[in-house]
Structure 1
Amino acid sequence: MRAQALVIVVVAALGLVGCGKQETLAPVAGKAMPQKPATAPAQPTVAELLTPTTQARPERSDELLRQSERRRDDRFELPHL
């Protein structure tokens, strides 16, 4: 019974792997691109629409510690009970 379930899972996984396409995206025939945003100077291309903004994927802005440093005293830290 376990072998049969394993075969079913493997076949289903292989079927899902074969579904992916690797071609460029384009609007469906007969359909137009989305409307131009009101504040945009020109109609964005497909690549521009698919590129995430910095708000969607922010860059790291904090610097990593290069060496260990003692923490400064925090006068607002409450004592642990």
Structure 2
Amino acid sequence: MTIRTIVGLAFTALALVSCGGRQPLKPVAGQELPAVPVGAATSPTAAQLMTPSTQARPQRNVELLTQSQKRQADEFDLPPEKQPQ
């Protein structure tokens, strides 16, 4: 790579990094936030709308199996029935 290419890539990276804004989110002029959800007292804020729920992003379970255990019998685990032809 030449020096010119490296300087060009560095300048492009700097321009891309500096173009992101850190301002609070606001609705577009003339539009409102979504309606108040059923059962909620107030309308959610922009920050609350951007935060993923637990269901959307569940916690990771890292508990290791420390002891082997034999499976218990399951009375509902039956083989499939053959259909009469």
Q: C-alpha distance in 1, partners of 2:2/2:36?
A: 55
Q: C-alpha distance in 2, partners of 1:43/1:72?
A: 49
Q: Which residue in 1 is equivalent to 2:4?
A: 4
Q: Which residue in 1 is equivalent to 2:82?
A: none
Aligned residues: CA RMSD: 2.7
Q: C-alpha distance in 1, partners of 2:48/2:22?
A: 18
TM-score when normalising by structure 2:
0.61
For structure 2, the 5+ residue unaligned runs are: 71-85
Query: How many equivalent residue pairs?
Result: 70
Q: Which residue in 2 is equivalent to 1:49?
A: 49
Q: C-alpha distance in 1, partners of 2:68/2:7?
A: 56
Q: Which residue in 2 is equivalent to 1:15?
A: 15
Shift of 1:48: 1.5
1:30 corresponds to 2:27: no
Shift of 1:29: 2.0
For structure 1, the 5+ residue unaligned runs are: 74-81
Quick check: which has more Rg, 1 or 2?
2
